[in-house]
Amino acid sequence: MKRHTAYFVGCLLLVVLVLGSLILNAAAPQQPDQGVLQETQVLMRAKLTSSQKVLEGLLAEDFTLIVQGAKEMARISEAAEWPRSRDEVYQHYSTTLRRQCGKLEELARKTNHEGAAFTYMQITTTCINCHDYVRDSLRISDQPNGGVQLIPAHVPNSH
């Protein structure tokens, strides 16, 4: 009888340990890979630096500097190696930013200061709206391959 009791207690302890481990792992917040985060931060810092070039060019009416900054922002936004959502809202912001950078470059080449300034303000608004969306609407999910992927916290309305 003692043998059955010891066996039962041993099995019960094993089940408690396994369930406890599963609960602790499920409750632990998902942390993205630090290397991926650092790479994303570097790209975002570079995009900010390019944006500052555009602003400097607008203030000095240096259209060459505006063109350079617009081209850099577009090129950085096309970087495919950083984790990002593949949902429709993020894709809209990404496409809009690249289109606006192209328009900014074109207006700067035509030395259209007013148009370039207006387009720069539109770019800034797009950046702020996208960052609000990513920060407030997306969460990070671990992937089986060890990477991370941004996922929507809610499903956007489809009209």
Give the per-residue pLDDT at 28: 41
pLDDT of residue 107: 98
* Residues 6+ away with beta carbon under 8 Å from 113: 58, 61, 63
Task: Break the chain into its structural domains and give their ranges.
Answer: 34-151
Residue 78 burial (C-beta neighbours within 10 Å; 0-12, 13-18, 19+): exposed
Q: What distances in angstroms separate CA 39 from CA 2, 43, 96, one per listed residue?
A: 60, 6, 23
Among residues 112, 97, 93, the alpha carbon closest in space to that of 150 is found at: 93
What integer pLDDT is reported at residue 12 of this predicted model?
44
CATH number of 34-151: 1.20.120.10
Per-residue pLDDT of the chain in tens (159 residues, 90 and over written 9): 566 555 544 544 444 444 444 444 444 444 445 555 567 678 888 889 999 999 999 999 999 999 999 999 999 888 754 455 567 888 888 899 999 999 999 999 999 999 999 999 999 999 999 888 877 775 655 556 655 555 555 555 544
- Tens of pLDDT, residues 68-80: 999 999 998 887 5
